[in-house]
Structure 1
């Protein structure tokens, strides 16, 4: 039983969740998938993503999307084009009739993926299948005998111990008014991405996108990979032949929007792309600097410019030396107060998270020439013209033969 998804946490001071994935195959009356990788699950902070290969049994026969459902409530998958070899379910942990089991050490969410093929006429050629799915979240608790601390404990410590930051990364529609209902793109399109942090009742925070990488799997370290944002907020994709840019001004300090021109990996037939971004926050009143910035490249001026702050904070985007990749942005500094130094989680990078959006489907737009039906009037005129030209050609040929015959006779008479 090994974890198949990255570390995430839920917003609670007494409960931390580490998602682990367990897959169990059903009993004798159900056919089990031949390839265990045909069903993959990501157990995330508040929801799970189930990716199902249509070639579920490895036989070459593709399952129909309408034959697959999730949970006792038969939740339907996300909408994807029919030629995509995957079926994607993205649901909340408590949705689709899932059951939660509480043990002394874990929270366990139970659900199942169902394959129920519909008969063709009166015959059925494929067995049904069920893949039970469990997401295990170990429970951690911290108990202290210290007295209640005074109310003047600053926000920077409170947020570190309560851990209520909720990060998100979403695909938006073209006018940024709502989340996009489609994840399908074609080359030449522009993807609109919006990163946010929800702080509840806490004071204002300013969000930054440290880095973003595009990959062909949810693993941000997989190959091939393409860096979109790097060096603590430099949108390096804007250096290429693209119009990718951070959008200024921000709609809110806790929101950052940017566009990316759609692309694909050369020499790879896969059409699904995942974008993983490392997000972080500072206090809203903290001035932007070379670590906390959002910089795009302006080709007309051949220079970098920030969403906010002085232009010189983007200067390190040219040198590619904006601090180490893991350098903390300093939202939760270690205090000189010994009580705060001993506080749990104080030295963890609590104001940062990796968030993945995807899979994004790329449709390769191949144009096919379809011959058009000829215009009937044009056909009729063309036929008449062809007939006329044919008659003229026959007449000319006949006259030439007759002329040659007369010349031949005259020549014979003269001789």
Structure 2
């Protein structure tokens, strides 16, 4: 039996505001059982059919069981107040047909079920008799519950639960993050200040929640002097869909860390640097992150490759080495070539929920203090200057000689050769 043919759990709870007689009577009518021996069962006031990707709500216009028919305009569905399907004026039922995630419906996930919840609202129209209220507003909560696991046949068909992965991705967006980490990767770094020569430890990760297992990649990273990633000057750190090109720079040790601590985590090191032609000491690093399913093999478009200067070759964090060959030639399809590219320009089939642009900064860079600063007479780093060192040695030797002479002639009535006459 197809999933769409099932009528799953529908909760009809009436929210009574004034508790008037008509509403109470409608509630008792809607819940009462047929009389003993009677084969007639009155149709429900509100009937819900839960299909694969939508729900159909049918409402009896004799809403309170009093014979007074409510108007279609007095009924709306969901927080977005969706209107019913147009129907004949003499029709006895009002029908809503909406997608599961439309009209402001909410998705709740349990280990075994996906539960879509919405509310049917009735609000009496006061335009004809604004001073007299003959019925109360009513809200009817509605739920459609779908199993997250189901049995399927062994035939080559798509499992019935596959469409719900994309629905889940839309309802609960992935949480991407880009963080500065301590040198041992155990905690997040508390300072964004670095000296030239320091290694910047960067960790990218994504919280997947109830999604299928996902693998994270860093497509591109660009360093700039301002928060605008399209500003000039700029320095490309990662390019060509995951090539850490900064590692090709002379004296650079920038690499991806392998193996990953998890498929949803990617770590890499970047040598600290400053822009040579600019006196500003703050930089911003903007990276484009994306995810793929873990059962999708790494490829030239989905990779994490580091340059090994000793062997003059590119090595991937995972996957065959040939996926990094385009890093050497620069023939990969680069997502960072156009640095003004925004998430609104995603290609079809790559929804923005699975990609994100994140920024680190400002990172404060300063030059390492390796020696005395010009124009200063004070010592640098606690190392004494040579004249001071020689003076100290001379004083020490003189004191030692005086002490020895004092011991030798101490028994005579001569003053110490190192003492002053008073």
Q: Which residue of 2 aligns with 1:145?
A: 97
Aligned match for 1:368, one of 368, 372, 377: 372
Q: Which residue of 2 aligns with 1:237?
A: 246
- Supply the distance in 1 between the matched residues of 2:231 and 2:205 (Cα, whole angstroms): 25
Matched, 1:378 2:367: no
- Supply the distance in 1 between the matched residues of 2:175 and 2:284 (Cα, whole angstroms): 20
- Supply the distance in 1 between the matched residues of 2:222 and 2:231 (Cα, whole angstroms): 10
Q: Which residue of 2 aligns with 1:351?
A: 354
Of residues 277-286 and 357-366 in structure 1, the stretch that sits farther from structure 2 once superposed is 357-366
Aligned match for 2:303, one of 284, 287, 293: 293
Q: Which residue of 2 aligns with 1:258?
A: 268
Aligned match for 2:332, one of 322, 341, 359: 322
- Supply the distance in 2 between the matched residues of 1:142 and 1:160 (Cα, whole angstroms): 24
Cα gap change, 1:295 to 1:171, in 2 (>3 Å)? same
Q: Secondary structure at the match of 2:290?
A: strand
- Supply the distance in 2 between the matched residues of 1:142 and 1:206 (Cα, whole angstroms): 39
Contact 1:163–1:350 (CA<8 Å) still a contact in 2?
no
- Supply the distance in 1 between the matched residues of 2:365 and 2:277 (Cα, whole angstroms): 14
Q: Secondary structure at the match of 1:181?
A: coil
For residues 109-141 of structure 1, what are the alpha-carbon distances to aligned partners after superposition, in whole Å with 9 as ceiling and x for unaligned? xxxxxxxxxxxxxxxxxxxxxxxxxxxxxxx97
| TM-score, structure 1 as length reference | 0.51
- Supply the distance in 2 between the matched residues of 1:156 and 1:210 (Cα, whole angstroms): 24
Aligned residues: 231
Q: Which residue of 2 aligns with 1:248?
A: 258
- Supply the distance in 1 between the matched residues of 2:81 and 2:283 (Cα, whole angstroms): 40
| TM-score, structure 2 as length reference | 0.50
Which portions of structure 1, spanning 4 or more consecutive aligned residues, are displaced by more than 3 angstroms? 140-145, 147-153, 369-377, 379-384
Post-superposition offset of 1:382? 8.7
Cα gap change, 1:347 to 1:236, in 2 (>3 Å)? closer
For residues 271-305 of structure 1, what are the alpha-carbon distances to aligned partners after superposition, in whole Å with 9 as ceiling and x for unaligned? 11111000000011111001110000111111111
How is 1:171-190 mapped onto 2 (pairs within 5 angstroms)? 171-190=180-199
Post-superposition offset of 1:159? 3.9
Post-superposition offset of 1:177? 0.5
- Supply the distance in 1 between the matched residues of 2:207 and 2:177 (Cα, whole angstroms): 8
Give the superposed CA RMSD.
3.1
Post-superposition offset of 1:308? 0.2
- Supply the distance in 2 between the matched residues of 1:209 and 1:285 (Cα, whole angstroms): 18
Q: Which residue of 1 aligns with 2:222?
A: 213
Matched, 1:224 2:227: no
- Supply the distance in 2 between the matched residues of 1:189 and 1:377 (Cα, whole angstroms): 37
Q: Which residue of 2 aligns with 1:200?
A: 209
Contact 1:164–1:200 (CA<8 Å) still a contact in 2?
no
For residues 358-391 of structure 1, what are the alpha-carbon distances to aligned partners after superposition, in whole Å with 9 as ceiling and x for unaligned? 111101234325453446653447999xxxxxxx
**5+ residue gaps, structure 1:** 1-139, 335-345, 385-415
Q: Secondary structure at the match of 2:253?
A: coil
- Supply the distance in 2 between the matched residues of 1:255 and 1:142 (Cα, whole angstroms): 41
- Supply the distance in 2 between the matched residues of 1:247 and 1:167 (Cα, whole angstroms): 19
Contact 2:165–2:211 (CA<8 Å) still a contact in 1?
no
- Supply the distance in 2 between the matched residues of 1:377 and 1:321 (Cα, whole angstroms): 66
How is 1:275-294 mapped onto 2 (pairs within 5 angstroms)? 275-294=285-304
Of residues 140-149 and 175-184 in structure 1, the stretch that sits farther from structure 2 once superposed is 140-149
Contact 1:213–1:277 (CA<8 Å) still a contact in 2?
yes
Structure having the higher Rg = 2
Q: Secondary structure at the match of 1:168?
A: strand
For residues 79-136 of structure 1, what are the alpha-carbon distances to aligned partners after superposition, in whole Å with 9 as ceiling and x for unaligned? xxxxxxxxxxxxxxxxxxxxxxxxxxxxxxxxxxxxxxxxxxxxxxxxxxxxxxxxxx
- Supply the distance in 1 between the matched residues of 2:332 and 2:304 (Cα, whole angstroms): 12
Cα gap change, 1:382 to 1:180, in 2 (>3 Å)? same
Q: Which residue of 1 aligns with 2:173?
A: 164
Contact 2:239–2:334 (CA<8 Å) still a contact in 1?
no
Aligned match for 1:312, one of 310, 313, 322: 322
